[in-house]
């Protein structure tokens, strides 16, 4: 009976304007921000990824920072960071899923965040287009570019999306070099950061990266290790027994002064 009720509420909220009912984020980095009621109400209730929010809070005063959010989804971190960097900072949010991007943009507008730039694109090591594998559910949080061992097909129900290279956006003045990068791109972090290799080498920002596959983790460590990064696991409640896969990791340069604007 409870499952039937949940399914009914899901269909009712997902296909009516009530899903856009404005609420306030209760806690976390985006506390106090305006948000939409449904779906993923855990965002505004403050029950999602508490260890991540606690880690961001430990950054302290980030006014004037430049932050990149790769895989922004609905923008809970993008919106929160943009509220903290102030008028002299900048946040760039990248989200290739068209359904998620539309909600990200709605949240940006609801909060009047002029310093939040949104990009309807996947971040990669080449610019152009790629197939976002959806498996028929664009509302899912796990739509993704293909893993190394994954092939497309009718079952994946791919959607064509734009890909961008971060080094190119910095070189053309579309982005400021980052003080902080959050990466959660479902197995594609090594490709995304390869496209930012020159910027990361020059700026050496703080990073938080969610890992989903062995090739992703190996590629990221191969890129960051020569730059003198130390890493630590954020939280221990993911349920994963792997040292890296299924976890969020914090990467900090061994010698890291206060990032500037």
| 29-41: average pLDDT | 95
Instruction: Give me the CATH code for the 47-253 domain, please.
Output: 3.40.50.150
| 225-239: average pLDDT | 85
| 184-203: average pLDDT | 97
Considering the entire predicted model, what is its pTM? 0.92
Band of residue 260 on the pLDDT scale cut at 50, 70, 90: very low
pLDDT at residue 259, as a whole number: 47
Q: Does residue 136 surpass a pLDDT of 50? A: yes
For the residues of the chain, what is the DSSP string, one character each? -HHHHHHHHHHHHHTSGGGG-EEE--SSTTTT-EEESSS-THHHHT-S-HHHHHHHHTT---TT-EEEEES-TT-HHHHHHHHHH-TT-EEEEE---HHHHHHHHHHHHHTT-TTEEEESSEE-SS-EEEEEE-TT-TTSS--EEPPTT----GGG--EEEEEE-HHHHHHTTSSPPPSEEEE--TT-HHHHHHTTHHHHHHH--EEEEE---HHHHHHHHHHHGGGTEEEEEE-S-S---SSSTTSEEEEEESS------
pLDDT above 70 covers a percentage of the chain that reads 92
pLDDT at residue 256, as a whole number: 56
Band of residue 261 on the pLDDT scale cut at 50, 70, 90: very low
Indicate the range of 108-122, 134-148, 171-185, 224-238 predicted with least confidence.
224-238
Q: How far apart are CA 181 and CA 241, in angstroms?
A: 25
pLDDT at residue 6, as a whole number: 59
């Amino acid at each position: 009976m409870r499952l039937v009720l949940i399914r009914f509420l899901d269909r009712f909220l997902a296909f009516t304007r009530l899903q856009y009912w404005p609420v306030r984020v209760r806690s976390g980095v985006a506390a106090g921000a305006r948000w939409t009621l449904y779906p993923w109400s855990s965002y505004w209730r403050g029950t999602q990824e508490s260890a991540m929010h606690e880690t961001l809070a430990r950054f302290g005063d980030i006014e004037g920072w430049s932050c990149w959010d790769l895989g922004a989804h609905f923008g809970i971190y993008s919106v929160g960071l943009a509220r903290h960097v102030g008028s002299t900072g900048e946040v760039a949010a990248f989200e290739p899923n068209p359904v998620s991007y539309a909600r990200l943009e709605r949240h940006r507008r609801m909060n009047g965040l002029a310093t939040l730039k949104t990009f309807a694109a996947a971040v990669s090591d080449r610019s152009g287009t790629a197939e976002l594998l959806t498996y028929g559910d664009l509302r899912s949080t796990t739509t993704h570019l293909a893993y190394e061992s994954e092939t497309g097909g009718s079952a994946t129900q791919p959607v064509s999306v734009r890909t961008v290279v971060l080094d190119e956006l910095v070189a053309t003045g579309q982005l400021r070099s980052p003080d902080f990068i959050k990466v959660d791109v479902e197995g594609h972090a090594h490709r995304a950061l390869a496209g930012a290799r020159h910027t990361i080498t020059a700026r050496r920002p703080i990073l938080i990266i969610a890992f989903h596959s062995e090739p992703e983790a190996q590629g990221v460590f191969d890129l960051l290790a020569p730059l003198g990064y130390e890493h630590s696991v954020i939280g221990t409640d993911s349920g994963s027994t792997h040292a890296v896969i299924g976890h969020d990791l914090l990467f900090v340069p061994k010698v890291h002064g206060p990032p500037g604007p």
